[in-house]
Structure 1
Amino acid sequence: MNLKETDLPGIGKKFVVQTRSGEKLTIIIHDDGRREMYHYDNDNPDDSISMISLDDDEARYVSAIIGGITYQPTALENIEVALGGLIIEWYRLEPNYKAIGKTIGELRVRQRSGATIIAVIEKNHTKHVNPGPDLMLTADATVVVIGERLHQQQIRQILSSGSG
């Protein structure tokens, strides 16, 4: 995520947020408490495709919702689904992970951890269901793994350090 903050003399402040997924959101906080939010087209980041205006109370309530005060979601990376001792976990491959640029076969995931990669979802949303050993792992991809808790700990280590 990238954030740019700009003073708007006589108006307030402008915040431009570029999300990890490439979306652009501009938030203008007026000195009178109003907030304006603009969402931009991915293909043309200079064209606003939606806008909403909130008063101070509405903005504070919405920020509480977004900030997780009223509902605490389970982060995608931490979701676990228990299936009779088996757990499915999702791992986002951070850019510094040593497994990036290596294939599933090179990492010997199943042999070294006992876990099985059941899907890989690329940053561009391309899905590889039941990927073979030749699939190369890329930065910001999500790796979906099934295994027991010990297997999950081992695969987490393999993905981050490239070793078991």
Structure 2
Amino acid sequence: MNLKETDLPGIGKKFSMETRSGKNLNIMIRDDGRRELSHSDLDNPDEPISMVTLDDDEAKYVSAIIGGATYKPTALDNIEVALGDLIIEWYRLDSKYKAIGKTIGDLRIRQRSGATVIAVIEQNHSKHINPGPDLLFTSGALVVVLGERLHQQQIQQILLNGE
């Protein structure tokens, strides 16, 4: 997940985020209190697919909903209790990931990061649950990783750098 913050003098501030689903989410906070939310494809970030404008009160209400203040799924409560400090993250191996073409064993993921690859879902939807060291990372694969926050930061660098 990449977050970019841009000052817009005389207008406000813009936040852009690449989502794991392959979209670009833009949030512009205007100096007059309005918020503009839009999303676009990563390959054409300046062409919004959709846009909505919220006033200050609407934005606060929506942020409470998204943040879980008004409703928190029961499944998430159970996962947080069961996992404690452990986090499950998903990494979509797009072209910027140099781990493509290498195996879990080649990268020595568990030894170097402390994280565990618990599943890999290929672009063709074939699933590898609890994959072994011989599993080859392919372009477009979704890699599901279990570990603490520091482990997740380390594995992300291993996957990005391919070493």
The TM-score, its normalising length taken from structure 2, stands at: 0.53
The runs of 5 or more residues in structure 2 that have no matched partner are: 81-87, 92-96, 106-117, 146-154, 156-163
Amino acid in the other structure paired with 2:19? T
**8 A contact 1:35–1:54 mirrored in 2:** yes
Q: RMSD between aligned alpha carbons?
A: 4.0
Change (3 A) 1:51 1:27: same
**8 A contact 1:16–1:27 mirrored in 2:** yes
For 1:52-91, list aligned pairs within 5 A: 52-73=52-73, 74-75=75-76, 78=79
* Deviation, structure 1 residue 58: 0.6
CA displacement, residues 24-71 of structure 1 (integer Å, 9 cap, x when unaligned): 111111111110011002443332100000011110000011111111
> CA–CA distance in 2 between the matches of 1:57 and 1:132?
47
Change (3 A) 1:130 1:25: closer
The runs of 5 or more residues in structure 1 that have no matched partner are: 80-90, 104-116, 144-159
Change (3 A) 1:14 1:42: closer
Pair 1:127-2:126 in alignment: yes
**8 A contact 1:92–1:140 mirrored in 2:** no
- Point out the more displaced range, 51-60 or 14-23: 14-23
- Residue 104 (structure 2) aligned to one of 87, 102, 105: 102
Number of equivalenced pairs: 118
By percentage of residues, which structure has more helix?
Answer: 2
The TM-score, its normalising length taken from structure 1, stands at: 0.53
* Deviation, structure 1 residue 120: 4.1
Identical-pair percentage: 57
Larger Rg: 1
Change (3 A) 1:127 1:68: farther
Change (3 A) 1:61 1:43: same
For 1:11-160, list aligned pairs within 5 A: 11-73=11-73, 74-75=75-76, 78=79, 92=89, 101-102=103-104, 120-122=120-122, 124=123, 126-128=125-127, 135-136=135-136, 140-142=142-144
Amino acid in the other structure paired with 2:27? I
